[in-house]
Structure 1
Amino acid sequence: MVAHFRRSVSFSNTTPPPPPPSSFSTSKTVGKKVHFRSTSLPTRSHPILFQLKYHLNQLKSHWASQSILDQSLHFDRVSDALIRLRIILESLDDLLDLAPSRDSLRRHPEWVERVLEDFLVMVDVYGTFQMQISMLKQCIVTALLATKRKDVLKKVACLKGLKKSGGEINKLMPFLQAIRLHLNVDVTGSDQNTDLELVGVIKDVIEVIIVISETVFSGIHESFETRKVSWMMGLKKTKREKGIKELENGIWSLKNFNDEELNKKMMQNVEECIDGIECGSERVFRSLINTRVSLLNVLTQ
């Protein structure tokens, strides 16, 4: 069995309701983690499955409502989504630790193999994303020094570096979109509702990972892209982009030199934003690895 990363204690900003009454008995393993044991396959009344579905629905509804209320993408929304995504992955990991879940998935080894490949792609994508975020941080630090020293040439070089890293992050999108094509493939040779329910939940988790990741990646990319301008009825209008507001403001400050204090504050906001995204995505990255290990153990244990 492959060892998992150690988890740090975390708290969700949403508290799930108490699980419905269940006939399952529980037993603790050595350590702090509690595993729910049962002689039957997980059902909707199972606490872990219930919790996972709750977090999935919370993220979907929260993300949809925010999209309707506010067309802009802000850092606090990105940070919240990454936190919720990590919690969902940890809940899935707990579900996969159940013996009934493993038994159910072992009946569909080909489907599990395909999901393992998808998770490997997502792990690679987030690993590359972490590298690009580190490069962005270096550019931001350099830009802060250039702002303090009023070094125009260095600012221009930083803008090019930010745009280049944003472009590399955008290149990760096709890998995620390729995974989405696999989600329509159903398991074969099973008429058991419990098997289909578990498969459906895993598909929902993968879809949520793709949606949130696409939004974060494209938001960073669009923030560093040059704004396109169109002319309509004699009025100059800027094309609306789905960038992250704090990053867009920082790019604007690098191109304007009128207010030194304002520029410095905006660049500090950019640095905090990048730090937050790095921290949140790193935790998602580790959770992806842990979940893939649990899926691998389904086939190897």
Structure 2
Amino acid sequence: MVANFRRSLSFSTTPSPPPPSSSAAVKKIHFRSTSLPTRSHPIHFQLKYHLNQLKSQWAISDPTSGSLDLGRILDALTRIRTILECLDDLLDLAPSRDSLRRHPEWIEKVLEDFLVLVDVYGTFQMQISTLKQCNVAAQLATRRKDGLRTSVCVKGLKKTGREVFKLMPFLHGIREHDPSGYNVTESGRDTDPDLDVGGVIRGVVEAIVMISEAVFGGISGSFETRKSSWTIMGLKKSKREKGIGELENGIWSLRNYYEDEVMKKKMMKEMEECIDGIESGSERVFRGLINTRVSLLNVLTQ
């Protein structure tokens, strides 16, 4: 039977790569699985590990804490990409495909969720591109000491932040409806493997929504100047969202609240690096979402 196994997989016991700022070398120990995939397959454990780590880091939010940390956001986007890659590997296993094929209607509903996420991240990529353009124009205006042009750029950044916030209701819609019918929290105690695979997939969707809400809210909140109460697509914003420090400092410097030119350039540079980092991380998530949706489609069609 082992000879018919389609491929062997190599896994690292190191759960996730060290953060970019870490210079310490991490020794990786690999082991190879040649057994038939089961519920205890290493891919399954690796996927659940990343999900548990991500949820433990983000599920509890301190309302009294300051701005969101860029490094934390980039780490979360990287972990989401890793989770999607693990899910692709899980969906590539024959037992997983067989389990999911017994629930075609459920798979159709999950595919709808992933389609919404793909659309949301596709739109988000366009908004991030607009942010970059506004930021470049703002830096040029500040070097030329063109206050009028700088003011226009600030308005452009704020407008883009509001456009990003318009993506939030789509995420809330995914959160509010659960098409699975599976109890994710109890799936580990259930003997039915269908429940386990379905629960993991729902856990992945929930994690993506949770991180996306934090990122989108952080961007829109960074450009708000005062408490506001307004409604977009049925979603009321009654208070200022927690912003991202580098974006808040950048917009603050553009409003000429800080006259130190050296510090202003530093803040603008950090804002540029922040936008670039989020763009890169979200693009990888976007591509991962597309790949995962293709894998889910293959479950139904192959």
Normalised by the size of structure 1, how large is the TM-score? 0.81
C-alpha distance in 2 between matches for 1:240 and 1:129: 20
CA RMSD of aligned residues (A): 2.7
**What are the superposed Cα offsets for residues 28-82 of structure 1, whole Å, 9 maximum, x if unpaired?**
xxxxxxxx744xxx31x21000100011111112234775894420111111110
Residue 180 of structure 1 and its aligned partner are, at CA, apart by: 1.3
The separation in 1 between residues aligned to 2:162 and 2:249, in whole angstroms, is: 19
Gaps of 5+ in 1: 1-10, 27-35, 230-238
1:295 match? 296
1:112 aligns with 2:107: yes
Cα pair 1:12 1:84 within 8 Å, conserved: no
CA contact (8 A) 1:116 1:295 kept: yes
Name the amino acid aligned to 2:57.
H
**1: distance between equivalents of 2:218 and 2:154?**
16
What CA distance in whole angstroms lies between the structure 1 residues aligned with 2:193 and 2:29? 22
Seen in structure 2, the aligned counterparts of structure 1 residues 90 and 174 have a Cα distance that, compared at 3 Å, is same
**Residue type of the partner of 2:222?**
S
1:148-187 → structure 2 map (5 Å cutoff): 148-183=143-178, 185-186=180-181
Q: CA deviation at 1:176?
A: 0.9
Q: How far is 1:129 from its partner?
A: 0.2
Counterpart residue identity of residue 93, structure 2: L
AA partner of residue 207 (structure 2): V
**CA offsets per residue over residues 188-226 of structure 1, 9 Å max, x none?**
9xx862100111111111000000000000100010112
Unaligned 5+ runs, structure 2: 1-15, 20-25, 184-189, 229-238
TM-aligned CA distance change 1:186 to 1:66, over 3 Å: closer
Check 1:182–1:241 CA distance in 2 against 1; reply closer, same or farther (3 A cut): closer
The aligned residue for residue 258 of structure 1 is 259
Name the residue aligned to 2:131: 136
Q: Indicate yes or no: 2:46 matched with 1:51.
A: yes
In structure 1, C-alpha distance between the alignment counterparts of 2:64 and 2:57, rounded to whole Å = 11
Q: Which amino acid aligns with 1:246?
A: E
Q: Does 1:88 align with 2:72?
A: no
Once residues 49 and 216 of structure 1 are traced to their aligned partners in structure 2, the CA distance between those partners, rounded to angstroms, is 27
**Greater RCO between the two (CA within 8 Å, min separation 6)?**
1
Does structure 2 conserve the Cα–Cα contact (< 8 Å) formed by 1:219 and 1:243? yes
CA contact (8 A) 2:110 2:179 kept: no
Match of 2:211 in 1: 212
Alpha-carbon displacement from aligned partner over 1:142-176 (angstroms, at most 9, x marks no partner): 11111111110111011111011111110011111
Aligned residue identity for 2:131: L
Contact 2:217 2:241 in 1 (8 A): no
Q: Counterpart of 1:79?
A: 74
Q: Equivalents in 1 of 2:72, 2:200: separation in Å?
A: 24
After alignment, is 177-186 or 124-133 more displaced? 177-186
Question: Residues of 2 paired with 1:83 and 1:101: CA distance?
Answer: 25
Find the residue that maps to 1:186 and give its secondary structure.
coil
Query: Are the structure 2 counterparts of residues 216 and 60 from structure 1 closer, same or farther at C-alpha, using a change threshold of 3 Å?
Result: same
Q: Report the counterpart of residue 8 of structure 2 in structure 1.
A: none
SS in 2 for 1:183: coil
Distance 1:254 1:162 in 2: 11
What do the CA deviations read for 1:100-144 (whole angstroms, capped 9, x no partner)?
Answer: 100000000000000001100100000000000000000000111
Residues 180, 198 of structure 2: 8 Å contact kept: no
Secondary structure of the residue aligned to 1:227 is coil
Write the distance in 2 (CA, Å) between the matches of 1:142 and 1:112. Answer: 45
Distance 1:192 1:295 in 2: 23
SS in 1 for 2:293: helix
Q: Distance in 2 between matches of 1:292 and 1:94?
A: 13
Superposition deviation, residue 244 in structure 1: 0.4
Q: Distance in 2 between matches of 1:197 and 1:68?
A: 34
Amino acid at match of 1:213: S
Q: Which amino acid aligns with 1:13?
A: P
